[in-house]
Amino acid sequence: MQIIHTPKATPPAGHYSQAVRANGFVFVSGQLGFLPPAAPGDRPALASGAADQAREALRSVQAILETAGSSLSAVVNVTVYIPDVGLWDEVNRVYEQCFGAHRPARAIVPTRELHYGALVEISVVALA
């Protein structure tokens, strides 16, 4: 098992890793739509709106996967959490732009609320 960390993605805010590479897979922890911090140690701010948060979360996912030697085209499963089912279409448009013709298995899970008031959280499993 290998712990994956990159400064190109939001640092973990708790007792977890950005990702773990194991048994031929990369398991990426849930990523919120934070903007990159201005300087090391700065607390990142959430992007404005669900679409921008989805873009930033997927940017972090991509950076983590690349650090692990993988890519978005190797993603086999995606879980997207949203606090309001009304955000589904907005988030899905960004998702489609990001993944293009690649269609991994996916679940979009409406939930009550996300940490820090986020509108999107995305976790993935990819081939290593």
H/E segment holding residue 20: strand 19-22
What type of residue is 82?
A: I
Q: Which pLDDT score is estimated for 12?
A: 87
The pLDDT of residue 66 is 98
Distance (Å, whole) CA 53 – CA 1: 30
Give the pairing type, strands 19-22 and 25-32. antiparallel
- DSSP state, residue 84: -
Nearest to 83 by CA among 58, 47, 118, 56: 118
One-letter amino acid identity for 69? Answer: G
Q: Contact 27/128 with Cβ under 8 angstroms?
A: no
Q: Which segments in the chain show pLDDT lower than 70?
A: 38-41
C-alpha atoms less than 13 angstroms from C-alpha of 80 in its C-beta half-sphere: 28
The H-or-E segment that residue 81 falls in is strand 75-82
pLDDT given for residue 10 in this prediction: 87
Cβ atoms 16, 29 nearer than 8 A: yes
Residue with tokens 């992007």: 47
Instruction: Kindly report whether the global pTM for this prediction surpasses the value 0.85.
Output: yes
